[in-house]
């Protein structure tokens, strides 16, 4: 075989191996939507009555691109959100420390930083102006640090110290409102949330519990990259045969 033909075959085999590696990695990872900038209603309580007389409450995530199930979304908190907490009340700095990753409640500020501006919303046609209540049911046991959700007036709405929930409930009658979201250290945080509302006819409605995931200062998936490299190496070893591309075959003892 000529050197040119050998090189061409090697390139084809390498391309196949790498494609298989990335396809396997993509198949292994669940499909998620990553939201990292712009306005996002992280808690959107939606009133639905798909069957007359049987209203339901749904908790989701919404931005200009559409609606998402919370479990299908990763909310990225970029390093641009890192700031001093000087000037915040002691109850908040006690959770966040002197510096923290804070998503601002102001859209212009968030756009200037290129980070999420997070909202809480009532969507759908609610039959009256009664409040919707949001409940922080649990915080992930592996959460790397502390979390606090607070208003522009610095009133704490939610808080968690690691996996231990502190302030866990607030209600709002507003159709749309913005809060600051603070995280004390980088890493992956998970929270289980629920929304509730008292319908004037049907009574108490509760959404299913939903799990939210925040990735603070995201990094590439080490395991996915390592898996792709390993599979690529396996493919190369498999395709490289003794005697191929001009290599001499190994010496063999004569049969007797």
Coil/strand/helix, residue 70: helix
Q: What is the pLDDT, as a whole number, of residue 218?
A: 65
pLDDT of 94:
97
Same domain, 87 and 143: yes
Q: What is the CA radius of gyration of the chain?
A: 26
Residue 194, in any domain of the structure: yes
Half-sphere exposure of 250 (CA within 13 A, CB side): 4
> Residue 232 has what pLDDT?
47
Residues 23 and 43 in one domain: no
pLDDT, residue 30, reads 57
Predicted confidence at residue 231, as pLDDT, reads 45
∠ Cα 122 57 151 (to 5°): 35
Distances (CA, A) of 212 to 17, 43, 62, 75, 194: 36, 10, 13, 8, 11
Neighbour tally for 160: CB within 10 Å: 23
Residue 124 has what pLDDT? 84
- Is 256 contained in some domain? no
- Report the Cα–Cα distance between both ends of the chain, in Å, rounded: 31
Residues 166 and 53 in one domain: yes
Question: What is the per-residue pLDDT for 8?
Answer: 47
With H, G, I as helix, E, B as strand and everything else as coil, classify residue 7: helix
**Cα gap 234→17, rounded to integer Å:** 8
Residues 194 and 145 in one domain: yes
- 150 and 56: one domain? yes
Same domain (yes/no): 197, 76: yes
pLDDT value at residue 10: 52
Task: For residue 15, give the DSSP letter.
Answer: H
Residue 16 placed within a domain: yes
* Per-residue confidence (pLDDT) for residue 9, from 0 to 100: 53
Size of the chain in residues: 256
| C-alpha span between 214 and 183 (Å, rounded) | 10
Q: Is residue 129 part of a domain?
A: yes
- Residue 5 has phi, psi (to 5 degrees) of -65, -40
Contacts of 242 (CB under 8 A, 6+ apart): 249, 250
Given this model, what pLDDT does residue 251 score? 53
Considering the domain architecture, whether residues 37 and 19 belong to the same structural domain is answered as no
Same domain, 10 and 121: no
In this structure, is residue 94 part of a structural domain? yes
Q: Is 172 helix (H, G, I), strand (E, B) or coil?
A: strand
250 in a domain, yes or no? no
Number of domains into which the chain is organized: 2
With respect to residue 59, please indicate whether it lies within any of the assigned structural domains: yes
Q: What is the spatial distance between Cα 11 and Cα 34, in angstroms, rounded to a whole number?
A: 34
Domain encompassing residue 146: 32-216
Q: 129 and 237: one domain?
A: no
Beta bridge partners of 204: 198
Residue 84's alpha-carbon distances to 98, 109, 252, in angstroms, are 6, 15, 71
Same domain (yes/no): 132, 68: yes
Same-domain check for residues 95 and 40: yes
- Domain co-membership, 113 together with 18: no
Q: Collect the ranges in the chain with pLDDT lower than 50.
A: 4-6, 8, 12, 14, 17-18, 20-28, 221-250, 252-256
pLDDT at 217: 87
| Contact present, 198 and 205 (Cβ < 8 Å) | yes
Is residue 160 situated within a structural domain?
yes
């Amino acid at each position: 075989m000529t050197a040119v033909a050998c090189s061409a075959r090697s390139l084809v085999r390498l391309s196949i191996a790498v494609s298989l590696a990335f396809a396997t990695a993509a198949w292994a990872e669940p499909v998620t939507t990553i939201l990292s900038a712009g306005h996002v209603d992280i808690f959107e309580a939606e009133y639905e009555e798909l069957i007359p007389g049987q209203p339901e409450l749904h908790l989701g995530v919404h931005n200009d691109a559409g609606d998402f199930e919370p479990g299908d979304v990763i909310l990225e908190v970029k390093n641009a959100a890192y700031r001093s907490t000087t000037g915040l009340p002691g109850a908040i700095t006690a959770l966040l420390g002197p510096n923290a990753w804070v998503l601002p409640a102001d859209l212009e500020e968030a756009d200037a930083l290129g980070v999420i501006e997070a909202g809480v919303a009532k969507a759908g046609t609610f039959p009256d102006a009664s409040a919707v209540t949001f409940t922080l049911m649990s915080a992930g046991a592996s959460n790397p640090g502390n979390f606090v959700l607070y208003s522009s007036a610095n009133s704490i709405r939610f808080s968690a110290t690691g996996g231990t929930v502190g302030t866990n409930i607030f209600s709002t009658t507003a159709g749309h409102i913005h809060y600051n979201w603070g995280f004390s250290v980088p890493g992956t945080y998970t929270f289980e949330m629920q929304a509730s509302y008292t319908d004037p006819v049907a009574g108490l409605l509760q959404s299913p519990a939903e799990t939210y995931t925040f990735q603070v200062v995201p990094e590439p998936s080490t395991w996915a990259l390592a898996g792709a490299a390993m599979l690529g190496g396996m493919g190369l070893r498999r395709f490289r045969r003794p005697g191929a591309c001009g290599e001499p075959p190994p010496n063999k003892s004569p049969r007797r």
